[in-house]
Amino acid sequence: MTVRRRPDVTGAGECDEARRPGKGDLTSQAILDTAERLLAERSLREIGIDELAAGAGVSRSTFYFHFESRDAVLYALSERVLREIYASGSVWFRRSDEPPGVAVRRALTAAVALWRKHGPVMRATVRGRETDPRLAELWEEAARRFVRSTAVQIESERRAGLALPGPPSARALARVLVLMNENTCYHQSMAASSDLWDAEIVDALTTIWLRSIYGPAVD
């Protein structure tokens, strides 16, 4: 499935920060924003093309100029949100002088908040990947990138004598931690919004990450 025209959500072209979004960019964003709002109310299959077009203030033909289907809209939304979530993890991936506990907690706090904010999109992506090969590949690539970056950071911390030595291997540990985050955040995003409950989830995830990687002495 090919997206005909949509905003760049993969990171390419970010060097041109001064470029103003054109009319086409704004139209695509309006369609994406409408889709995200409607996904909070019902499933993708229950959302009509006419609804997406009307919500963005465009015609049906204009919608099809930018996206070939609802699936293409979800794909673009998923790219956008996954990019945000990966960026939140870079707090720990690029840690320098910041204590491990502070960096890990900050990254996990951002991840839980983003799942809370974009929960409908993320849950639609998880469901959609079972039937949409492109969506499945997008998700798998995002997961591989998270696991790879996490494993590299664990290995770096081990070489520096900060983290516990293996086993398990850095990659195996990274995979378990990343999958734990995904599953926990997925279910947390469906629960009633609660700052206290989100904070407790962050505390639990942070404790597991720190003790698994660094041992009980790090907090």
What pTM, to 2 d.p., does this model score? Answer: 0.83
Domains of the chain from N-terminus onward: 75-213 (1.10.357.10)
What pLDDT is attached to residue 7? 37
Residue range 57-91, pLDDT digits in tens: 999 999 999 999 999 999 999 999 999 999 988 88
How confident is the model over 93-120, as pLDDT tens digits? 888 788 999 999 999 999 999 999 999 9
What pLDDT shows up at residue 21? 59
Nearest to 150 by CA among 169, 179, 171, 166: 171
Residue 108 contacts residue 38 (beta carbons within 8 Å): no
Using CA atoms in the order 56, 60, 63, 68, what is the torsion angle rounded to 10 degrees? 140
- Token readout for 128 is 């959609």
Q: Which positions ≥6 away from 148 have C-beta within 8 Å?
A: 174
CA dihedral 35, 202, 182, 155 (to 10 degrees): 130
Q: Are 34 and 52 in contact (CB under 8 A)?
A: yes
Q: Which residue stretches of the chain have pLDDT < 70?
A: 1-24, 219
User: What are phi and psi for residue 6, nearest 5 degrees?
Assistant: -160, 165
**pLDDT of res. 19:** 53
